[in-house]
Structure 1
Amino acid sequence: MKKWLIFSILIMFGIFNLNEPVLAEAGAADLTSEAAVLMDTQSGAILFGKNEEVKMYPASLTKIATAIYAIEKGNLDDQVIVSKKVFDIDGTRVYLNPGEQVTLKKLIQGMLINSGNDAAMAIAIHLDGTMEKYSQHVNEFLESEIGVKATHFVNPHGLFDEDHYTTAKDLGIILNYAMKNEDFREIFGTKQMKWDGESWDTTLLSHHRMLKGEIPYPGVTGGKTGFVDQSKQTLATTAENGPLKLTAILLKSEYKKKIYDDTIKLFDYGFSNFKSSQVKKGEVFTSGKRQFTYSADTFLTDPIDEGNRTVDSNGVLNIENREGKVIQTVELKPIIKKKLEVKNTAQKAEQSGVLSLNSIVGGILLLFAVGVLVLNRKQKRNRRYRSR
């Protein structure tokens, strides 16, 4: 009874706040995965991170990069002749036969939905001929067109190699980029599809338990699983709740159930604490006496409570969470108001004055000339009268 009385008093005086939002830093200790990142899919804002810039082995999350690379650099309707090299690949397959003809789109579907390593290998050989050229080209694509800095891939499927690595942050950036592509979104969100191959006739089912609904969570739009011994469990998931779209990357969890628990914790945190909005190109942002404009249509992510927007001396908009940590930066263009050209105005006024003076003098001279003419005529008339 005394304990309940003390507890009630503490609540009354605000020492305990049962409605306070969960902080990102507090949630980090609860994640079992060694690395994690939660991002706004549309704006790229990092809402939560745990070892998000530490080099990790991604396992089959590699196939997200292979898929968007193939979609953008290849033709989905191309007929791919499956190479003999796919026959020796380890791990999960869609049981392609050497010499079998399959469209590039179907190979991407088999790779993302069923995590077929043989499909990933067939894609890479079709696009670049060899693993060496594939590695070179895909890394150039990831760095120059997507903008990642800490990723190096040597194969298209994610089987372990010491030189095949990335970070949770880079994977989030890659997935966010891929989600802008309609073909990728369709395949990444596919739960099942009919597979009619030369040696395998079946229905492919996504391995992602939240996407399939085995672990219910509202708004899940896509997912990819991964596992090799060195990587442990890896998981990529996208979800949306109204205008807010989220990307969660979890790396190196010992247990499959725990990595899904971690994903749910991240989504719960994101949807409870953040909101998304879009500003149009040309809209004005005012900071003190200065005004700036957005140079392109831009998605912004703000904390629901106690967020802050500030502009630094370089014209960069910083969106901060309640702890003052920057979660998103946007470059703005300053609006420079033109000053009145006093000198030119004075010159025009001076010129106007000169013109006015000239007009007056001209008028006087004209009147004088008319007067002289009138006087001359009178004198001539008088002379005529006298001569008579």
Structure 2
Amino acid sequence: MLRCLCICIMIMLLGTSLPRGLRAEESIPQPPELQSEAAILIDARSGAVLFGKNATERLYPASITKIVTGIIALESADPEEIVTVSKEARYEDGTRVYLAEGEQVTLGNLVYALMLNSGNDAATAIAEHISGSKALFADKMNAFAKETVGVFDTQFTNPHGLPDPAHYTTASDMAKIAQYAMRNERFREIVATDKMPWNGKEWQSQLDNHNKLLTTYEGTLGVKNGYTQAAGNTLVIAAQRGGMELIGVILKASTNKAIYAEMTKLLDYGFAAFEPRQLFAAGETYKYGTGAEGESPRMFVAEEELWTAAPKHEIADMQVDALGSVTMSTPSRTWTAGMLTLQTPPAESAQAVEAGSEAAGAAEDIEEEKAVAASGWELPIAGAWLLMNIMLGAIAYMKLRKRAMRGA
């Protein structure tokens, strides 16, 4: 009996020592071991990094370059614009959709050809239509990466990703670029398309999306795969499950089969180990500190909903610093979850304005009273001074008159 009681107590103690939300039969998911050169997994909503391997190493991107070409095309011009295919686009190297010289195609259809069938000829036609040449379009791509997305370890020399020593990116940069691109609804629609009829001048067929996970991995939304001998296999994937969207990037995998297997492991880990967590609702405020003596505490506001991806099996603590930066921490990791905006509470602001107005009014009243008081004293003094001068004048006149009479 005593032995059974001890066993029960041990089981209870072991059960209470498990991380929150973890049942006895569950195990905490472990990060995958990847053979590819570089990889990253981020939460698409917040950008929080959930996994990384050589994420800032500069490598060739191959055709995932086309993510940048596609989003620039959609944001720079009307998809219904007509593009006339040049001779250079017609004879572009690599994967093609067999555009004919002089053929006219809508810009939107060229973006489909670019993102589904990875048409290098479509990439060149887009670049020439928007910027006049591939070189000028590359300048636009680089400006977009730095100024719009805010990444600085990426450089492009062409719109399609064919090898060039000066054409490189990182897993981290590509994740941020994909995060930006996937916020565009038209872009999301295009990269989620599996098949599309293609009635070209020289090629009547259908476009087949080269992204294999689109139809084999539950929740896949896009985005793009790539391959050159110099770059190896590259892949960017966005997938959504349980209210959480993840973006994974893998660079320089040895084979096409290996990169899809490793991306599956990466996404499986993300969905198993993390969960979405809302930190602030749009418009919600946060009071920082108590304020110095005689001062109010700082008030911050969330201009939009603030979410993060937190480990499922660990308790996460939130901290907000004096600048409004929101940091999450668990026993195993610490990460930045977003920013709040400093604001002056409307009620306090109104009170301050009212108090200021009252103070200004009181000051004006005091000045007016001084002026009135001053004017009340000045009039009698001026009158007395005038009367005194009249009297002195009269006395002097009388003395002069007496002297004159004596002399007479």
Q: Same fold (TM over 0.5)?
A: yes
The one-letter amino acid of 1:22's match is P
- For 1:243, the equivalent position in structure 2 comes to 243
- For 2:305, the equivalent position in structure 1 comes to 298
* CA-to-aligned-CA distance 1:280-311 (integer Å, 9 cap, x gap): 43202356656643342133114133212111
The one-letter amino acid of 1:277's match is Q
Q: For residues 302 and 187 of structure 1, what CA distance do their matches in structure 2 show?
A: 27
Q: For residues 261 and 287 of structure 1, what CA distance do their matches in structure 2 show?
A: 46
- For 2:201, the equivalent position in structure 1 comes to 198
Give the number of the structure whose alpha-carbon radius of gyration is greater.
Answer: 2
Q: For residues 289 and 322 of structure 2, what CA distance do their matches in structure 1 show?
A: 12
Q: For residues 172 and 103 of structure 1, what CA distance do their matches in structure 2 show?
A: 28
Structure 2's unaligned 5+ residue stretches are 1-9, 19-23, 291-296, 366-408
- For 1:83, the equivalent position in structure 2 comes to 86
Q: TM-score, normalised by structure 2?
A: 0.75
The one-letter amino acid of 1:180's match is R
Is 1:221 matched with 2:186? Answer: no
Query: Cα–Cα, structure 1 residues 121 and 292, in superposed 2: closer, same or farther, change >3 Å?
Result: same
| C-alpha deviation, 1:186, in angstroms | 0.6
Is 1:315 matched with 2:316? Answer: no
The one-letter amino acid of 1:171's match is M
- For 2:188, the equivalent position in structure 1 comes to 185
Q: For residues 325 and 279 of structure 2, what CA distance do their matches in structure 1 show?
A: 17
For residue 86 of structure 1, give the secondary structure of its aligned residue in structure 2: helix
Q: For residues 92 and 254 of structure 1, what CA distance do their matches in structure 2 show?
A: 20
| C-alpha deviation, 1:238, in angstroms | 0.8
- For 1:281, the equivalent position in structure 2 comes to 282
Number of matched pairs: 338
For residue 269 of structure 1, give the secondary structure of its aligned residue in structure 2: helix
| C-alpha deviation, 1:157, in angstroms | 0.4
* CA-to-aligned-CA distance 1:55-84 (integer Å, 9 cap, x gap): 111100000000000100111111100010
Query: Cα–Cα, structure 1 residues 291 and 267, in superposed 2: closer, same or farther, change >3 Å?
Result: farther
Query: Cα–Cα, structure 1 residues 53 and 294, in superposed 2: closer, same or farther, change >3 Å?
Result: farther
Is 1:255 matched with 2:264? Answer: no
Contact 1:178–1:184 (Cα < 8 Å) also in 2: yes
| C-alpha deviation, 1:211, in angstroms | 0.4
Compute the RMSD of aligned alpha carbons.
3.0
- For 1:7, the equivalent position in structure 2 comes to none
Q: For residues 12 and 296 of structure 1, what CA distance do their matches in structure 2 show?
A: 45
| C-alpha deviation, 1:134, in angstroms | 1.0
Q: Share of identical aligned residues, percent?
A: 37
The one-letter amino acid of 2:227's match is F
Contact 2:48–2:335 (Cα < 8 Å) also in 1: no
| C-alpha deviation, 1:11, in angstroms | 9.0
Q: TM-score, normalised by structure 1?
A: 0.78
Query: Cα–Cα, structure 1 residues 121 and 250, in superposed 2: closer, same or farther, change >3 Å?
Result: same
Matches within 5 A, 1:1-388: 19-23=26-30, 27-28=31-32, 30-213=33-216, 217-272=217-272, 273-277=274-278, 279-286=280-287, 289=290, 292-303=299-310, 304=312, 305-333=314-342
The one-letter amino acid of 1:154's match is T
Bigger shift: residues 163-172 or 86-95:
86-95
Structure 1's unaligned 5+ residue stretches are 1-9, 352-388
Contact 2:306–2:338 (Cα < 8 Å) also in 1: no
For residue 56 of structure 2, give the secondary structure of its aligned residue in structure 1: coil
The one-letter amino acid of 1:113's match is L
Q: For residues 171 and 25 of structure 2, what CA distance do their matches in structure 1 show?
A: 32
For residue 270 of structure 1, give the secondary structure of its aligned residue in structure 2: helix
Contact 2:288–2:321 (Cα < 8 Å) also in 1: no
| C-alpha deviation, 1:328, in angstroms | 2.5
For residue 197 of structure 2, give the secondary structure of its aligned residue in structure 1: strand
Q: For residues 321 and 181 of structure 1, what CA distance do their matches in structure 2 show?
A: 33
